[in-house]
Amino acid sequence: MMTKVVTVKRRALAANEERADALRSRFAASGTLVANLISSPGSGKTTLLEATVRALDGELTLAVIEGDVATENDADRIRALGVPAHQILTGGACHLDARQVETGIEEGGLPEVDILFIENVGNLICPTTYDLGEDFKVVLLSVAEGDDKPVKYPAIFARAEVAVITKSDLLPYVPFDLESVESQIASLNPNGSVLVTSSLKDEGVDGWISLLRARLEAKRQSAE
């Protein structure tokens, strides 16, 4: 029984990798930077995207794919800012896969843009394994979640090139050891970047925006 389960999983991941590679080629041809945002529910992914849209308004073109079990609430929030967004409803599945992203781009009529954000289903485990053709994974951790999450969920913190600590305006009010979290993340991913932000207070968001600009420029230069 165990052997059969592993075999099926390997076949599913192999099929996903094929679709992810096709997406990656598509994004390379259009010069689109793609970021896959992964976190627990309520960490502030959509709020960070709203702040990103406001900061880059008139400078870069953006689009968003939203993954949720139900409702179009998050996609509606992005659309309200004038940015195209397509909602993928998983109906219970705990992650997005490359096929869903590919279908979502087509069904949503999303245009070729400078940056595509994929806001994955709220979960620190399932989305970690699935390649969506992105350029890099971003893991978000709000200070309200506690400072032990990197060691409790090491896989995503090891694989995400960027870790964004969110809701930093709450630091004076919650037991969260920022220095310890930064140390945990550095031990799991020595080459990763850690940003500390409060999207509601517009603190630290400039560092996130600078990172996006630099990643987009680097991608386009490497294609030349």
Q: Say what the pLDDT of residue 19 is.
A: 97
Nearest to 66 by CA among 119, 139, 136, 104: 119
Cβ atoms of residues 38 and 137 within 8 Å: yes
Q: CA-CA distance, 163 to 139, in Å (whole number)?
A: 5
Sheet strands (E) in 96-175:
115-119, 136-142, 162-166
* Phi-psi label, residue 218: left if phi above 0, alpha if psi -120 to 50, beta otherwise: alpha
pLDDT digits (tens, 9 = 90+) for 81-127: 999 999 999 999 999 999 999 999 999 999 999 999 999 999 999 99
User: Alpha helices, DSSP H only, in 42-95?
Assistant: 45-56, 73-79
Q: What pTM value is reported for the model?
A: 0.94
Average pLDDT, the chain: 95
Ordered structural domains, the chain, with CATH: 2-223 (3.40.50.300)
Q: CA-CA distance, 94 to 121, in Å (whole number)?
A: 6
Q: Say what the pLDDT of residue 11 is.
A: 75
Q: Say what the pLDDT of residue 160 is.
A: 98
Tell me which H or E stretch contains 63. Answer: strand 62-68
pLDDT above 70: percentage of residues in the chain: 96
DSSP 3-state of 109: coil
**Residue reference for tokens 């008139």:** 58
Confidence of residue 4 (pLDDT cuts 50, 70, 90): low
Mean pLDDT of 20-41: 98
* pLDDT of residue 204 exceeding 70: yes
* pLDDT of residue 5 exceeding 60: no
DSSP 3-state of 15: helix
